């Protein structure tokens, strides 16, 4: 094992501390230069002199230092290191031949770094960050392995690569239409627009379209590009379940005769489109190790179990377990909140929702295509938007997490908790004993919200809404920006909160695994036209199987359950199971249903 010292530079604020890391470091006190101040006045930690006591880690008021050991399994396999006390990546995914290779791991573990290296955007330095990186050394390193030919072609500029970047929000600043932007990428743009469902929207300016359309635009451009290797970094963000399944099918087809590499946090989608998967483990922002490739089913089951035997690595303390969803007996369903049919109209848009009942302790998933009125419905229940017709909204105490999170002001979660904890509606004990741990909030408790990443802000918002004592919880897209692990933890804690309070919880989301872990029942929204305007119609709640059936029938996709883990798996279109389930109307097969 090798000791590494990592400084999270964005968390280190040398002007706002007393230099505690250096003051208390035992080797420094003995006169050794274990920690010195760098030109930016931030600490530089010597890994040779460090004795691994961990004192600096605990003394730093901003938790900006990590002192860790890298696993023996990865020894001698460092591919890239950004700097002295910076992130390092061990090993790379294997690609080059036809097939879709998936990368699965938490945020900050090196997936994008691996992707950038394979795409030829970043040259790996093999750990030697002091000298310019050089592909001839890389060729030497990979001699005799599958990746040698790949890097040889890359070094000779014989590989054309194209990357669908992780963040698509920036496209909105480009002054172009969807069609022009996709065409600029080369290849058959019209076909890509058609297949991604963008053709009728092709004339829209990028500045005017929704996040989902920006994502589809970036995917269409990548799909149509004339390249040798294709990379997709998180293609499912902002997309609804139906778009996700369509895009998954397109990427899967692309990978039938070409190399494709994909980073994806939605397990149903990754499971469907990847031929093999590398798990990435390590410590976020410090180091990441790419596992050897595995068949997709094995990789995802291993990931859920949380233990990688080949490398003796545990990357979760508890396994994630799925259960089938038999309907609850009527005696277990105690009605809690009833709402009357609701209608909301905006110019050119109308959504209507049939009335329904939520039960004590019930978690209700809300699914359907984008722009059908799911957020509008939740806002009506929250009392944020008045219905045009129907209602009134239920008069119970509501805790609402909106879809779009705003980090206004420079207050931190800790400040907020201090302000709320005097009130009788704030459950401080649940916050401290459960939410802080389950949502990994400790390192960011004191960070101003406007300095948090999207995933951190999401976890804070989930925690604040679950810590309020309410009868009805409304969580709009809690899985957005979260990695797979965070999604699984969030699902668990949302259920625990509902059970603790005997409350009802509504969760609008697009991640099938997240919903399957969470939901007892489903409300389903469909697109509907109203005169010349667009809109939607929401129905339910239905029992899980019935709700998924209604959603999936519209897209002709079937799911089965994995025999070993009971997790849902998309059936290959036209396979024997797919045909059998369709003929029985079992789009979301559940052995206990
Ligand atoms: P992931 O895609 O798994 O979220 P990334 O590959 O984006 O992870 O990042 C892994 C780590 O590398 C992060 O801590 C990030 O801050 C760090 N990192 C990324 N790019 C650089 C860079 N150019 N210089 C220093 N550190 C970087
Ligand atoms: P979903 O959650 O299903 O994606 P939304 O409830 O967010 O759908 O919104 C559906 C549509 O309602 C939007 O595409 C927009 O046309 C319309 N809409 C929502 N809010 C407003 C508003 N405040 N003013 C005008 N139109 C709105
Ligand atoms: Fe010094 Fe290393 Fe101890 Fe930190 S962990 S205080 S750098 S010896």
Nearby residues of 312 by Cβ (< 8 Å), 6 or more positions away: 71, 73
Half-sphere exposure of 111 (CA within 13 A, CB side): 26
Please give the angle made by the CA atoms of 271, 221 and 280, to the nearest 5 degrees.
35
pLDDT tens digits, 362-371 = 999 999 999 9
Atom 22 of ligand 1: nearest residue by CA position: 82
Atom 7 of ligand 1: nearest residue by CA position: 112
Mean of pLDDT values over 276-293: 96
Is the domain defined by 75-160+227-304 classed in CATH 3.40.50.300? yes
Distance CA 243, CA 555 (A): 10
pLDDT of residue 424: 85
pLDDT tens digits, 153-171 = 999 999 999 999 998 989 9
Atom 22 of ligand 2: nearest residue by CA position: 346
Counting ligands in written order, the one closest to the CA of 536 is: 2
Choosing from 349, 368, 403 the residue with most ligand 2 atoms within 8 A of its CB, the one to mutate for a pocket test is: 349
CA-24 nearest atom, ligand 3: 6
pLDDT of residue 554: 84
pLDDT of residue 288: 97
Q: Give how far Cα 479 sits from Cα of 236, 456, 487, 509, Å.
A: 11, 12, 6, 7
pLDDT of residue 173: 94
- Partners of residue 283 on adjacent β-strands: 287
Handedness of CA 485, 487, 492, 496 (dihedral sign): positive
Average pLDDT, the chain: 92
Choosing from 213, 353, 371 the residue with most ligand 2 atoms within 8 A of its CB, the one to mutate for a pocket test is: 371
pLDDT of residue 282: 94
Q: Is the CB of 55 under 6 A from ligand 3?
A: yes
Task: Kindly write down the DSSP assignment for every residue of 474-502, as one continuous string.
Answer: EEESTTTT--HHHHHHHHHHHHHHHHHHT
Is the domain defined by 2-70 classed in CATH 3.30.70.20? yes
pLDDT tens digits, 493-547 = 999 999 889 999 999 999 999 999 999 999 999 998 877 778 999 999 999 889 9
Q: Is the CB of 26 under 6 A from ligand 3?
A: yes
pLDDT of residue 592: 67
Counting ligands in written order, the one closest to the CA of 281 is: 1
Q: Is the CB of 376 under 6 A from ligand 2?
A: yes
Q: Is the CB of 346 under 6 A from ligand 2?
A: yes
Atom 11 of ligand 2: nearest residue by CA position: 371
Decide if 452 contacts 460 (C-beta within 8 A). Answer: yes
pLDDT of residue 395: 79
pLDDT tens digits, 257-271 = 999 999 999 999 999
Distance CA 345, CA 74 (A): 58
Decide if 200 contacts 177 (C-beta within 8 A). Answer: no
Fold: same for 75-160+227-304 and 336-543: yes
* Among the listed residues 234, 241, 295, the one whose alpha carbon sits nearest the alpha carbon of residue 264: 234
CB under 8 A, 24+ apart: contacts of 579-585: 582/556, 582/558, 585/549, 585/553
Structure-block tokens of residue 392 = 């009134």
Res 593 pLDDT > 70: no
Atom 5 of ligand 2: nearest residue by CA position: 373
pLDDT of residue 353: 96
Classified by CATH at the fold level, domain 336-543 comes out as Rossmann fold (3.40.50)
- The domain limits of the chain are 2-70, 75-160+227-304, 336-543, 556-593
pLDDT of residue 122: 95
Residue 108 has a CB neighbour count (10 Å cut-off) of: 19
- Locus of tokens 């001699």: 143
Give the pLDDT band of residue 392 (cuts 50, 70, 90).
Answer: low
Distance CA 474, CA 339 (A): 14
Res 79 pLDDT > 80: yes
CA-368 nearest atom, ligand 2: 3
Q: Is the CB of 109 under 6 A from ligand 1?
A: yes
Mean of pLDDT values over 32-48: 96
Q: Is 467 exposed, middle or buried (0-12, 13-18, 19+ CB in 10 A)?
A: buried
Give the H or E element holding residue 506: strand 504-508
* Among the listed residues 504, 546, 503, the one whose alpha carbon sits nearest the alpha carbon of residue 524: 546
Choosing from 201, 343, 373, 475 the residue with most ligand 2 atoms within 8 A of its CB, the one to mutate for a pocket test is: 373
Res 28 pLDDT > 90: yes
Q: Is the CB of 107 under 6 A from ligand 1?
A: yes
CA of 372 to the centre of ligand 2 (A): 8
* Among the listed residues 399, 419, 519, the one whose alpha carbon sits nearest the alpha carbon of residue 461: 399
Decide if 316 contacts 306 (C-beta within 8 A). Answer: yes
pLDDT tens digits, 534-568 = 899 999 999 988 999 999 998 889 999 998 899 99
Torsion of CA 202, 207, 211, 214, to 10 degrees: 40
Atom 26 of ligand 1: nearest residue by CA position: 82
pLDDT of residue 390: 84
Q: Which residues of 258-276 are buried (b: 16+ CB within 10 A; e: fewer)?
A: ebbbbbbbbbbbbbbbbbb
pLDDT tens digits, 206-247 = 999 988 999 999 999 999 999 999 999 999 999 999 999 999
Mean of pLDDT values over 54-72: 93
Task: Tell me the pTM.
Answer: 0.93
pLDDT of residue 435: 95
pLDDT of residue 256: 95
pLDDT tens digits, 304-348 = 999 999 988 888 888 998 887 766 666 678 999 999 999 999 998
């Amino acid at each position: 094992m090798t000791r590494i010292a990592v400084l999270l530079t964005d968390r280190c604020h040398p002007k706002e501390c007393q230099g505690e890391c250096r003051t208390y470091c035992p080797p420094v006190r003995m006169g050794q230069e274990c920690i010195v101040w760098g030109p930016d006045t931030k600490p530089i930690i010597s890994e040779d002199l460090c004795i691994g006591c961990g004192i600096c880690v605990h003394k730093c008021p901003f938790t900006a230092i990590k002192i860790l050991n890298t696993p023996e399994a990865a020894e001698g396999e460092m591919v890239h290191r950004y700097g002295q006390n910076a992130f390092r990546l061990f090993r790379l995914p294997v690609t080059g031949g036809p097939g879709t290779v998936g990368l699965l791991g938490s945020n900050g573990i090196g997936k994008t770094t691996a992707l950038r290296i394979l795409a030829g955007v970043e040259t790996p330095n093999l750990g030697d960050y002091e000298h310019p990186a050089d592909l001839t050394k890389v060729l030497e390193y990979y001699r005799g392995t599958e990746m040698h030919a790949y890097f040889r072609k890359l070094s000779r500029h014989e590989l054309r690569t194209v990357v669908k970047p992780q963040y698509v929000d920036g496209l909105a600043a480009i002054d172009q239409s969807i069609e022009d932007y996709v065409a600029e990428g080369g290849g058959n743009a019209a076909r890509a627009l058609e297949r991604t469902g963008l053709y009728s929207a092709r004339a829209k300016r990028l500045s005017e379209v929704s996040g989902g359309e920006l994502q589809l635009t970036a995917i269409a451009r990548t799909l149509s590009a004339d390249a040798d290797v294709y990379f997709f970094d998180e293609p499912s963000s902002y997309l609804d379940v139906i778009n996700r399944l369509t895009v998954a099918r397109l990427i899967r087809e692309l990978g039938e005769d070409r190399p494709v590499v994909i980073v994806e946090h939605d397990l149903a989608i990754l499971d469907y489109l990847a031929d093999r998967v590398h798990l990435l483990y390590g410590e976020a922002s410090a180091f990441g190790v790419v596992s050897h490739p595995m068949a997709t089913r094995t990789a995802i089951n291993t990931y859920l179990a949380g233990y990688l035997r080949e490398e003796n690595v545990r990357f979760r303390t508890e396994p994630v377990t799925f259960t089938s969803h038999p309907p609850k007996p009527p005696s277990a369903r105690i009605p809690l909140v009833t709402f009357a049919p609701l209608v909301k109209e905006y110019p050119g848009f109308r959504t209507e929702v049939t009335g329904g009942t939520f039960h004590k302790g019930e978690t209700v998933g809300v699914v359907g295509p984008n722009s059908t009125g799911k957020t509008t419905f939740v806002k009506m229940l929250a009392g944020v938007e008045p219905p045009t017709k129907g209602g009134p909204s239920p008069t119970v105490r509501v805790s609402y997490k909106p879809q779009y999170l705003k980090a206004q002001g420079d207050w931190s979660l800790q400040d907020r908790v201090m302000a709320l904890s005097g009130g009788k509606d704030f459950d401080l004990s649940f916050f401290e004993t459960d939410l802080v741990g389950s949502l990994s909030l400790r390192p960011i408790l004191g960070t101003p919200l406007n300095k948090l990443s999207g995933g951190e802000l999401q976890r804070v918002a989930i925690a604040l809404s679950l810590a309020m004592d309410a009868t009805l919880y409304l969580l709009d897209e809690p899985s957005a920006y979260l990695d797979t692990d965070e999604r699984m933890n969030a699902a668990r804690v949302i259920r625990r909160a509902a059970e603790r309070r005997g409350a009802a919880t509504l969760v609008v989301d697009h991640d099938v695994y997240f919903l399957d872990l969470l939901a007892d029942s489903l409300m389903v929204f469909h697109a509907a036209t109203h005169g010349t305007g667009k809109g939607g119609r929401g129905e339910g709640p239905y029992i899980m199987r019935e709700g998924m059936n209604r959603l999936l029938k519209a897209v002709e996709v079937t799911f089965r359950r994995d025999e070993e883990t009971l997790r849902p798996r998309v059936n290959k279109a036209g396979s024997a199971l797919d045909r059998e389930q369709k003929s029985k109307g079992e789009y979301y097969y559940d052995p206990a249903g």
